[in-house]
Structure 1
Amino acid sequence: MNEDLYEAGIAMRRRVLGDAHVDASLAAATDFSIDLQEYVTKYCWGDIWNRPGLSLEERSLINLAMITALNRGHEFKAHVRGALNNGVSREKIKEVLMQTAFYCGGPAALESFRLAAEVFATVDAE
């Protein structure tokens, strides 16, 4: 394993998603799924998220749109929290989701609005 890439990935993953999320993901890994956790940490978080050219805010906004299109609720909620951690305002999140309503369809956007509201409520309660 490329340790430097993995360490860069863990650092970025923690910065964006928070320690609790990363710790839970790694703790839930099994012999069957640990290879995927290492792959995602190295190549998504260690490489892609550390590339120059886009800010963390821009990467978060792009992810929210893509994950809405894919209709992946669990990942969407994690990335709403990540977007907030990256300084994305709730207003910008709303505008991205409005954009997805047209391009991804109403049901996908409605689900993402509902999930974002859940994350906002959790963050407000913390």
Structure 2
Amino acid sequence: MPREPSVSEVPALEDLRRVSPALEHYTRERLLGELWTRPDLSARDRSLVTLATVIARNQSTAMAAYFGRALDSGVEPGELSELVTHLAFYAGWGNAMGAVGVVKDTFAARGITAEQLPPAVGELLPLNEAAEAQRAERVGKDFGAVAPGVVQYTTELLFRDLWLRPGLAPRDRSLVTVSALISAGQVAQVPYHLNRAMDNGLTKAQVSEMMTHLAFYAGWPNVFSALPVVKDVLEKRPD
């Protein structure tokens, strides 16, 4: 059965009906009533994918409803906080800043305070030293002479700090990273991060459903541009 639209979505549907009855129909029947209830990707995961997309594309109009929906779907306030922080690095500082005001209002409406959010600095998750050393060596060899600052910050700030923050699980960080990359058309970066996502626990079925979800929120062209790369990664992964 198609689910009833949430309270936050009803005004948007009414607006759609007045502008484009066809788009209102597709939104209500296919997007909200069908896509969000498909198996293989939970409502919580769909919320993470959607938020990664709207932040990466700086779609502030859609953010408020989807931040609220994420909280209703089981995403913790601290996880939303970490998601915005993470996407500052993968979608750009400006896009993350564009989400801050929306999240602030959402938190205020829900009575969520700063005390419920992860600290700026704290204990980090354990690092896979061997894998990180291999990654750092490869990147340093390829790009150290071209952009040593990028190589330095990639190692020190991203992989030895950001990715080890416990406020968002590695699997979820990978999910939002891959979603943001595809949404921004950054196909060249997908193989590494999709492999990392699957190493972190994302399944082939979840990857498939993530792509289906992204078709609606990032657009069919971005998904079809990424599908050959995703197909290649999945075919090379062991069963």
The answer to whether TM tops 0.5 is yes
Unaligned runs of 5+ in 2: 1-124
Alpha-carbon offset, residue 11 of structure 1: 4.2
Which of 116, 121, 131 is the equivalent residue of 1:14?
131
Question: In 2, distance between residues paired with 1:75 and 1:105?
Answer: 18
2:216 is equivalent to residue 99 of structure 1: no
Percentage of pairs with the same residue: 19
Q: Any residues of structure 2 matched to 1:1-126 within 5 Å, and which?
A: 11=128, 14=131, 19=134, 21-124=135-238
Structure-2 change in CA distance of 1:65 and 1:40 (3 Å) = same
Name the one with the larger helix percent.
Answer: 1
Unaligned runs of 5+ in 1: 1-7
AA matched with 2:226 = S
Could you say which structure has the larger radius of gyration?
Answer: 2
Question: In 1, distance between residues paired with 2:210 and 2:137?
Answer: 29
- Higher relative contact order (Cα pairs below 8 Å, separated by 6+ residues): 1
AA matched with 1:50 = L
Paired residue total: 114
Contact 1:64–1:79 under 8 Å retained in 2: yes
Q: CA RMSD in A?
A: 2.6
Alpha-carbon offset, residue 22 of structure 1: 4.3
- TM-score normalized by structure 1? 0.77
Structure-2 change in CA distance of 1:14 and 1:58 (3 Å) = same
